[in-house]
Amino acid sequence: MEEGGVNVIDLTQADESFVKELEALGADELRECIQCGKCGATCPMALAGLEFFIKRIVHAANLGLRDILLEDSSVWGCQSCNRCVEICPMDVKPYELIQAIRRAAMKVESCPANTYEGLRNLYRFGHAVYPKGYEERRKKAGLPEKPPTAISYDELRKKYQEILRNTILEEIAPFPLD
Amino acid sequence: MDKTGKPACQICEKGIPPKGIQGCPADAIKFDDKDEYINLKVGAVIIATGFKPMSKHYFKEYSPHSPDVITSMEFERILSATGPTGGELKRPSDGTKPKTIAMVSCVGSRDERYHPYCSKVCCMYMLKHARILKEKYPDIKLYLFFIDVRTAGKDFEEFYVYTRELGVKVIKGGRVSSVDVKPNGKLRVRAFDSDLCAPVELDADMVVLATAIEPPDGVEELGSMFTATCGREGFLREVHTKLYPVETQARGVFIAGCVQGPKDIPESIAQARAAASATAALVIPGKIKFEAIISEVDRDKCSSCGVCVPLCPYTAIRIVEYKGKEKAYIEPALCAGCGVCASACPSKAIKFNGFTTEQIMAQIDALTEA
Ligand SMILES: Cc1cc2nc3c(=O)[nH]c(=O)nc-3n(C[C@H](O)[C@H](O)[C@H](O)COP(=O)(O)OP(=O)(O)OC[C@H]3O[C@@H](n4cnc5c(N)ncnc54)[C@H](O)[C@@H]3O)c2cc1C
Ligand code: SF4
Ligand code: SF4
Ligand code: SF4
Ligand code: SF4
Residue A15 sits at the chain B interface (C-beta within 8 Å): no
Q: Report the distance separating Cα B227 and Cα B316, nearest Å.
A: 10
Out of A51, A78, A107, pick the residue that ends a domain.
A107
Q: HSE-up of A155 (CA within 13 Å, CB side)?
A: 0
Sequence length of chain A is 178
Q: How far is B73 from chain A (nearest CA, A)?
A: 26
Summarised one tens digit per residue, pLDDT across range B165-202 is 999 999 998 789 999 999 999 999 999 999 999 999 99
In this complex, the residue of B165, B170, B201 whose CB is nearest that of residue A8 is B201
From A107, A130, A163, give the residue that closes a domain. A107
CATH of the domain at A50: 1.10.1060.10
Q: How far apart are CA B223 and CA B46, in angstroms?
A: 11
CA angle B91, B96, B100 (to 5 degrees): 65
Q: A56 in a domain, yes or no?
A: yes
Q: Kindly give the confidence (pLDDT) of every residue in chain A, 178 residues in length, as a single tens digit, with 9 standing for 90 and above.
A: 444 445 899 999 999 999 999 999 999 999 999 999 999 999 998 888 888 899 999 999 999 999 999 988 889 889 999 999 999 999 999 999 999 999 999 888 888 888 888 888 888 888 888 777 888 888 999 998 888 888 889 899 999 999 999 988 888 887 888 7
| Residue in chain A nearest B167 by alpha carbon | A31
Q: How many domains does chain A have?
A: 2
Range of the domain at A52: 11-107
* Parallel/antiparallel/unpaired status of strands B169-171 and B213-214: unpaired
Q: Per-residue pLDDT tens for B217-227?
A: 999 999 988 88
Q: Which amino acid is at B319?
A: I
| A87/A125 same-domain check | no
Residue of B51, B71, B75, B122 with the most ligand 4 atoms within 8 Å of its CB, for mutation? B122
What domains can you pick out in chain B, each with its CATH number? 52-213 (3.50.50.60), 216-283 (no CATH), 295-368 (3.30.70.20)
ipTM surpassing 0.90: no
Q: What is the pLDDT of residue A1?
A: 41
Least Cα separation, residue B196 to chain A (angstroms) = 6
User: Distance between CA atoms of A53 and A94, rounded to whole angstroms?
Assistant: 11
CA angle A69, A75, A81 (to 5 degrees): 150
Ligand of minimum distance to the alpha carbon of B46:
1
Q: Give the number of the atom of ligand 3 that is nearest the alpha carbon of residue A83.
A: 5
Domain-located, residue A1: no
Same domain, A99 and A30: yes
Task: Verify that A52 and A95 share a domain, yes or no.
Answer: yes
In a domain, A150, yes or no: yes
pTM greater than the 0.90 cutoff: no
pLDDT given for residue A4 in this prediction: 40
